[in-house]
Structure 1
Amino acid sequence: MVQPVWGEWWPMQDGQPTGWKRRDFMGAAALVALALGLPTAAVAFTELDEKDAPTSHQRTLMKEVSQLVIPRSATPGAGEVGAGDFAILVLAHGLENSRKPVKDTAAYARFLRNDGSVRHVAWLERELDLRAGGDFLGADATRRAALLGALDAEAFASRASESPWKAIKALIVTGYYTSEPGGSEELRYEPVPGRFDPDLPLKPGDRAISNDWTAVDFG
């Protein structure tokens, strides 16, 4: 299985993200709803606040972070399948309670929307750059992994933590396991399961079944 999870939507050209436009958000919203089994109305088809539209640096950051959460193994990593772009979109639309007002407004003051929720991607960009002493993406791969690992450990040290990283990570994992590689290659895909067996032996290396991926403990 893919390690660690300390956890194909948009086209790329020559390995670089293409331009981000309002219609990309609107069209992708329907895909999000279908992928997650949500009614289309669950994803708003309204123009996003311009502050939620990612910069090219933020998209690159989210791709790198996604790849660190679920790196390439026998299957593509989360960054490669577009989980970073997926997370940007659905964070702006409020999945994983990401539009819920935070209690500690002082800690996230510079990243708050008018509704009291946090602009997760902007927060993550600044948080990782601060931890890297300047530019997170400019650090070597080992240091990037260590910095994100430390952030992850702090965020999940307490159930009461309001760290925006919790929602970001959850949606990166969701984006990966609802992509074609994550859902049919990393997990076992059986569209028509056989008979019901309530107690089956689990052997090392057995993969979870994607039919019930939401029940999997991703770590």
Structure 2
Amino acid sequence: MAMQLSPIVSRRGLMVAGGAAALPALAGCGRVGDAASEPLDVDILQQLCDLVIPRTGTPGAADPSVVRWIATAYDAGVADVTAATWGELMRDLEKAGGQPFGSLPASRRAAVLAKVDAALGPPGPPPVKRAAATTAAQHPPSAPPPPPTARSAWSKVKALILRGYYTSETGASKDLVYELVPGRYDPAVAVTPATRAYSTDSDARNMNA
């Protein structure tokens, strides 16, 4: 049974057969930073991808093309995921599991990741636009804006996995429905259990964990 993470995930099965053979060339990806940083471990990345979006009727996030994109994005620092972020995530997973994540038996990895994922809490509500009068009364121009909420390492890495999958050809056209130009306007569409979302979120801006 697939692990239970946040509502947006937990819907695929095992990785694409033979996909692991395409990944050894990525083993050196990642930057080495300070003592708290770690270079990217592509084997662990692939395990995380498979746990977040496993394969069912469509390929999951462990698809080699998705993992390659994530590794390249990581190396470029996309979404603020750096070697320091990866090192922090490895420490969080080790703390949750009592040993390095890569040495955990496969039967325990889902539970350990679910424990780290649960610490993220439920997704927050969308920001509310306040009226100008209310804003002026509650937040005078001289008051500094509140500091942004710090995002955990897993929050950043999971968001990158979701972005990599749902902007890939597999995620956008097989898991979601891709329609470049809608053929007609339907004011009311019946939604059934078989209904799939459309891949209109072209660059996954709202896929933050």
Both structures adopt the same fold (TM-score exceeding 0.5): yes
1:176 pairs with 162, 165, 168, which one? 165
What is the aligned partner in structure 2 of residue 187 from structure 1? 176
What is the aligned partner in structure 1 of residue 55 from structure 2? 72
Given that 1:81 and 1:176 are in contact with CA atoms closer than 8 Å, whether structure 2 keeps it comes out as no
Distance in 2 separating the partners of 1:127 and 1:174: 22
Distance in 2 separating the partners of 1:183 and 1:149: 25
Distance in 1 separating the partners of 2:52 and 2:111: 12
CA 1:133–1:125 in structure 2 vs 1: closer, same or farther (change >3 Å)? same
**Larger fraction in helix:** 1
**AA of the residue aligned to 1:194:** G
What is the aligned partner in structure 1 of residue 92 from structure 2? 127
* Bigger Cα displacement from structure 2, 178-187 vs 60-69: 178-187
**AA of the residue aligned to 2:78:** L
Equivalent residue runs for 1:41-190 within 5 Å: 49-51=31-33, 54-55=39-40, 58-96=41-79, 98=80, 119-156=84-121, 160=149, 162-190=151-179
Measured after TM superposition, the shift of residue 135 of structure 1 is 2.6
Where do 5+ consecutive residues of structure 2 fail to align? 10-18, 125-148
What is the aligned partner in structure 1 of residue 13 from structure 2? none
Distance in 1 separating the partners of 2:197 and 2:205: 9
Given that 1:188 and 1:208 are in contact with CA atoms closer than 8 Å, whether structure 2 keeps it comes out as yes
CA 1:72–1:134 in structure 2 vs 1: closer, same or farther (change >3 Å)? same
Distance in 1 separating the partners of 2:188 and 2:207: 18
What is the aligned partner in structure 1 of residue 142 from structure 2? none
What is the aligned partner in structure 2 of residue 203 from structure 1? 192
- Equivalenced residues, count: 169
Sequence identity percentage = 31
Measured after TM superposition, the shift of residue 192 of structure 1 is 2.4
CA 1:76–1:53 in structure 2 vs 1: closer, same or farther (change >3 Å)? same
Given that 2:93 and 2:101 are in contact with CA atoms closer than 8 Å, whether structure 1 keeps it comes out as yes
Q: 1:120 is paired with a residue of what secondary structure?
A: helix
Find the structure with the greater CA-based Rg: 2
Distance in 2 separating the partners of 1:187 and 1:122: 32
Given that 2:23 and 2:42 are in contact with CA atoms closer than 8 Å, whether structure 1 keeps it comes out as no
TM-score normalized by the length of structure 1: 0.62
Given that 1:91 and 1:120 are in contact with CA atoms closer than 8 Å, whether structure 2 keeps it comes out as no
TM-score normalized by the length of structure 2: 0.65
Distance in 2 separating the partners of 1:217 and 1:175: 10
CA 1:126–1:212 in structure 2 vs 1: closer, same or farther (change >3 Å)? closer
Where do 5+ consecutive residues of structure 1 fail to align? 26-47, 100-116
Q: 2:184 is paired with a residue of what secondary structure?
A: coil
Distance in 2 separating the partners of 1:173 and 1:126: 22
Please, what is the CA RMSD of the aligned residues? 3.4
CA 1:129–1:77 in structure 2 vs 1: closer, same or farther (change >3 Å)? same
Distance in 1 separating the partners of 2:150 and 2:208: 19
Distance in 2 separating the partners of 1:199 and 1:3: 34
Measured after TM superposition, the shift of residue 83 of structure 1 is 3.5
